[in-house]
Amino acid sequence: MLRFLKNKLFYLGLFLFILGLFIFNKNTHFHGHSINQIKNRIMASLQENTSPTLSKKKVRELELGQISNKSKNTQNEQKVILNDPALQQAWGVEKSQALKAWEITQGSNDIIVAIIDTGCDLAHEDLDGNYWSNQGEMGLDKNGQPKQSNKIDDDQNGFIDDVHGWNFASKNNDLTDNHGHGTHIAGIIGARANNGHGIVGISPNVKMMCLKYYDPKLNSDHLGNTIASFHYAIKMGAKIINYSGGGTEPSFEEKAALELAQEKGILLVAAAGNERSNSDVHHYYPADYGLSNIISVTAINPNTEVLPSSNYGVETVDLAAPGQNILSTLPGSTYGYMTGTSQATAFVTGAAVLVYAHHPEFLHSDVKKYILATGDSQKTLLAKTKTSKQLNLFKSLVMMDSTISLTGLKGSSSQIIPSSTGSFENGGNGGGSGEGSRRAPGASGNSLLDLNQFSRDMVKKTTPPRKGASEE
């Protein structure tokens, strides 16, 4: 009898123990957040509210005016709590309602964005982990050597050891960014969120393919490199291409490459250019090829005014996004500001990632329509862009949802596309530069910057030229 009772007590104890384990395990998730996530958030808010001891590096960054640990305690209704110290300094994030958008989606690691630019800092503390890797050049070959460095084109795509992209300027796999522009663009698109470093990209979940078409130290064929980069991006599975370069002369081969991208459903987000001109009169390419898969972007300041240096046009420029004094990543795990339509373009590329992540079934044309249709209308943009709108990330996600719930169908997007804004006299930003053959959109000619020289002087440097450096 006693033994029976003992047994009973034992089993009761065991039952209670298992029940306890079960309850504990259940409680490790609150409203879909794991204990670790919540712990991180609490740590993040603690860090914000105390004055943390600054690392030497942070102090140096503060001295350089690059990033600040000050939290402004603003951001009304900020539900996404992030611990990235310089986020508050990135005015474009608030302007485009990124914080609210991130409550819905922060992108997807399945989406590959090709950044055709000056290279990338692959080891940057705020970018590492968000680069695309070519699986065909990963792992070990049959001799036990790492495919990424065996000097063999393992995936037979025509490029040897192309792990994260290709350098078309030097014809090798060295993606070093010896200019700074490419790394800056990469940060705006896909700097990592909540990692305790720097800023947050518009789509912090993404895979960025790095294609270098411009090297300030080489006088190579920038247009040819651009076209080759388009073909690489198409071949290797990019869903979106970000391109900040351009020129006033069209190219048959370039247009053909972009038509191929169109057939494959790949979006090109292109800078309207920094030539101070009306693109309706002085066309700028590739932004102005008029293909359904191209979005042309101009740049605004915090007052929603198109920058004097930015191209505009009610027929050719689709929309506007933040482009003045944009804080982002620079080589050597540093941060700094740059200005121009390149920066605005990167915002819209990030937006495209968010829209795709939220609706993976969308076609490129859907993504374009929704981004354009859901921006904020602004009087200041009436004579400047086709849509008279500035990018609004939150609305690009929410308005899609409301359309879907209203119609029960996905994206018959023409319903919310505004009719033509008609034609307006341009606001008089001055005419074009008159240098028809030039493919150098406002870049500084002497851009041979040493990696240690990145500073606020970088602000004025914008788009790298395509055909040799010139002007200014």
Active-site residue set: 117, 181, 342
Q: Please report how close the Cβ of residue 324 comes to Ca ion at its closest, in angstroms.
A: 21
Local structure of 34: helix, strand or coil: strand
Q: With respect to Ca ion, which residue has the nearer C-beta, 29 or 70?
A: 70
Which residue, judged by CB position, is nearest to Ca ion in the bound state? 84
| Whole-angstrom distance, CA of residue 101 vs CA of residue 96 | 9
Q: Assess 162 for contact with Ca ion (CB under 5 A).
A: yes
The 58-97 contact track toward Ca ion, x by CB under 5 A, reads: --------------------------x-------------
Q: Which of 305, 253, 240, 248 is nearest to 274 (CA)?
A: 248
Chain center to CA of 239: 13
Q: Are residues 306 and 313 in contact, defined by beta-carbon separation less than 8 angstroms?
A: no
Residue from 92, 119, 180, 198 in contact with Ca ion (CB under 5 A):
198
Residue from 68, 104, 108, 155 in contact with Ca ion (CB under 5 A):
155
Residue from 47, 68, 75, 150 in contact with Ca ion (CB under 5 A):
150
Q: Indicate the pairing of strand 376-377 with strand 389-390.
A: antiparallel
Q: Assess 159 for contact with Ca ion (CB under 5 A).
A: yes
Q: Are residues 181 and 338 in contact, defined by beta-carbon separation less than 8 angstroms?
A: yes
Determine the interface stretch with Ca ion among 7-15, 124-132, 214-222, 461-469 (rule: CB under 5 A): 124-132
Q: With respect to Ca ion, which residue has the nearer C-beta, 84 or 117?
A: 84
Residue from 48, 117, 125, 161 in contact with Ca ion (CB under 5 A):
161
Q: Assess 335 for contact with Ca ion (CB under 5 A).
A: no
**Binding-residue total with Ca ion (CB under 5 A):** 17
Q: In the beta sheet, which residues pair with residue 334?
A: 330
The 177-196 contact track toward Ca ion, x by CB under 5 A, reads: ---------------x--x-
Sequence-separated (6 or more) residues with CB below 8 Å from residue 207: 109, 110, 111, 112, 113, 130, 131, 132, 133
Q: Are residues 253 and 221 in contact, defined by beta-carbon separation less than 8 angstroms?
A: no
Q: Please report how close the Cβ of residue 189 comes to Ca ion at its closest, in angstroms.
A: 13
CA torsion sign for 217, 219, 220, 222 is positive
Interaction site with Ca ion (CB under 5 A): 84, 126, 137, 147, 150, 152-155, 157, 159, 161-162, 192, 195, 197-198
